[in-house]
Structure 1
Amino acid sequence: MAVFTSVTLEDLAPWMSQFPLGKALAIRGIASGIENSNFFIDTEKGEYVLTIFENLDFDQLPFYLKLMRHLADRGVLVPAPIANLDGELCVALHGKPAAIVSKLAGSSQMAPLPVHCAEVGTMLARMHLAAQDFTIRQPNLRGLAWWQSTVPKVLEFLTDAKRSLMQDEIAFQTAFAQTATYQALQSGPVHADLFRNNVMFDGERLTGFFDFYFAGCDTWLFDVAVTINDWCIDVESGELDMARVTAMLNAYHAVRPFTAAEGDAWQAMLRAAAFRFWLSRVYDFYKPRDAEMLTPHDPGHFERILRLRISQPTLALPMALLSAPQ
């Protein structure tokens, strides 16, 4: 993530004494993303990731950290939060909440093939099922309520065409959320930000999902749509690559079968997933926060994707995937 809060090795040394990881030997910032300050830290026990939370507070963080611990304990490949000597997963550093998690092996796959998409689909379905008995409930903080409150804040920066698109889509999504189809969708804890740079691979083998700090309770189908809209597209045009789409959906369905309601909601949810990231990127672009190494994402990328998802009403989950008993 971007570095909003600087941390030196001298800062880290006394703070690290509360963790069973030995001395901190090196620290380096991670220059991607826009929400938190993240660092790789080398310790006497190995390499870990330190996150300082810039927007989330101590009351919100147990959901994310305990969810990761819950998933790791159930065999889902995610970073495991490290507790301090008092059993706390989140402690203050420079006056802000901070946590240490295990570092995943491998690297991000930025040019995925169908085999990579299938791996992601399988693990995403496993994650959804494993989180069913997670007892803490927190809404998706970048869900519909956030969209409704944020759209008015950015309209002044948009051209007439973009303003109309944003107003039309928030009206569509608000209405869709009231339908029986939407209300029938299965839900639970979701990652909500499972882009290519948040998954690690060793060759064709998936080694883990990370960056759960947009997670929340939402429909599982929204999580699938977010993932499809990044993993299964031509990056330049935003067009879906159906070979990758099919690989991911088939793999997901083999673990957690899609329902008929999800088939009916698929195109609307692809639009919702595109709209969420177009809106957040517009907001971050026009209302930026100061940070070292911060590079705002291009809002135009998800605007293109949203327009495509609106203009292709035949998009649907392949009906063959809905053949399993409901």
Structure 2
Amino acid sequence: MAVFTAVTELQLAQWMRHYDLGDVVGFRGIPSGIENSNFFLTTTRGEYVLTIFEKLTAGQLPFYLDLMRHLAAHRVPVPDPVPLDDGKLFGILHGKPAAIVSKLEGSPELAPGVEHCVEVGQMLARMHLAGRDFAQHQPNLRSLPWWQETVPAVLPFLAGAQRDLLTAELAHQQAFFASDDYAALPAGPCHCDLFRDNVLFAHAAPDTGHEVRLGGFFDFYFAGTDKWLFDVAVTVNDWCVDLATGRFDAARTDALLRAYQTVRPFTAAEIRHWGDMLRAGAYRFWVSRLYDFHLPRAAELLKPHDPGHFERILRERLSGAVLPGIHTSCN
């Protein structure tokens, strides 16, 4: 279980005095995730998720919680933070920032089909457009400056081809990020971590004609202001690949990209740099998984993700294989 900070019944009871959520009838740790301590919380008023933030500071947290409230108000299905009795969206539990949010309906689909990718593509574009009038700005904290800081820390654990690839791709991304084309890419609040296990699906009503229904996006605690194309690339690199090889599944990729463009068409600059951004999306998670694997934190039964998965995806993007074309398959 990826729970870094345990919570006793007494501590929970004291904490819940700050909320108007009724009596606690259920409380258990959530085994997924490697960044925060998460718990399912059931009260006489409903179902919620309690999160204790292990890395994010009290100064950083308002961006994430206010963004979720903003998106929820714009009818994007995301967890809605519950205010404490003083109106704030988070407090301090165990000496760390903590918050309670509404629990979404459904469960993750870890073997998605075309219909799931359509739902995700459309909602991701809706989310991007809904964030255009969000006033707060916070950069993606796992973007280029973090890569530049983190790569030197993991390089001593690598050798040969791995070391060469990590340094060469960093140089490529530094040049890409410094380009005029990169500066012109549309940007706004992004999820930045929209993997299969961060999306829920619920059963569709029988009379809708749909096989699946999106329950919502969650785990916004890697969100930041970034290029929308980066968010799409991160999503496609997970939802639309064969997990064993990192190769694209053509049907799922085409479905997600077409669905996204029914809501927000890509710009000419986005089309030109689709390959660069797919590489950036793969690189971001290869670097973070290398860091978690070689420099782990203590946690209860914490198992870091395999860094080799995103190394394979990055190498696949560099292999010369034809990329799914957002200019040909989606217009």
TM-score by length of 2: 0.95
Question: Equivalent residue for 2:65?
Answer: 65
Which segments of 5 or more consecutive residues in structure 2 lack a partner in the other structure?
Answer: 204-211
Equivalent position SS for 1:132: helix
The alpha carbon displacement at 1:182 in A equals 1.1
Match of 2:179 in 1: 179
CA distance in 2, matches of 1:283, 1:312: 28
Q: Deviations over 1:168-215 (max 9, x none)?
A: 000000001112221111001100000000000014110100000000
Distance in 2 (CA, whole Å) between partners of 1:27 and 1:93 is 15
Match of 2:12 in 1: 12
State the Cα RMSD in Å: 1.2
Task: From the superposition, tell whether residues 153 and 237 of structure 1 become closer, same or farther in structure 2 (CA, over 3 Å).
Answer: same
CA deviation after TM superposition for structure 1 residue 317, in Å: 3.0
Paired with 2:39 and 2:130, the residues of 1 have a C-alpha distance of: 28
Structure 1 gaps of 5+ residues are none
Of 241, 252, 256, the residue aligned with 1:248 is: 256
How far does residue 294 in structure 1 lie from its aligned partner after superposition? 1.0
CA contact (8 A) 2:258 2:330 kept: no
| Aligned-pair CA distance for 1:77 | 0.6
1:159 aligns with 2:159: yes
Work out which of the residue numbers 305, 308, 326 in structure 2 matches 1:318: 326
**1:112-123 to 2 correspondences below 5 Å:** 112-123=112-123
CA distance in 2, matches of 1:45, 1:301: 41
Give the TM-score of the pair, scaled to structure 1.
0.97
Alignment-derived partner of residue 56 in structure 1: 56
| Percent of residue pairs bearing the same amino acid type | 61
> Taking structure 1 as reference, are residues 172 and 313 closer, same or farther at Cα in structure 2, changes over 3 Å only?
farther
Q: Is contact 1:229-1:274 (8 Å) kept?
A: yes
Deviation by residue 1:108-154 (Cα, 9 ceiling, x = unmatched): 00010011001000000000000010001000000000001110000
Q: Does 1:225 align with 2:233?
A: yes
The alpha carbon displacement at 1:322 in A equals 7.1
Question: CA, structure 1 residues 25+322, in 2 after alignment: closer, same or farther (shift >3 Å)?
Answer: closer
Note closer, same or farther for the CA distance 1:23–1:50 as it changes in structure 2 (3 Å cut).
same
1-side partners of 2:42 and 2:157: how far apart?
43
Q: Report the equivalent of 1:88.
A: 88
CA pair 321-135 structure 1, distance change in 2 beyond 3 A: farther
Tell me, yes or no, if the aligned pair for 2:4 and 2:298 is still in contact at 8 Å.
yes
The C-alpha deviation readout for 1:145-167, integer Å capped at 9, x for no partner, is 00011100000001211000000
Partner of 2:271: 263
- Equivalenced residue count is 323
State the one-letter code of the partner of 1:4: F
Mapped to 2, the partners of 1:183 and 1:290 lie a distance apart of 39
Secondary structure of the residue aligned to 1:131 is helix
Distance in 1, Cα, partners of 2:330 & 2:250: 17
SS at match of 1:98: strand
Q: How big is each residue's C-alpha offset from its partner over 1:79-132, in whole Å with a ceiling of 9 and x where there is no partner? A: 000001111101000110000000011100001001100100000000000001
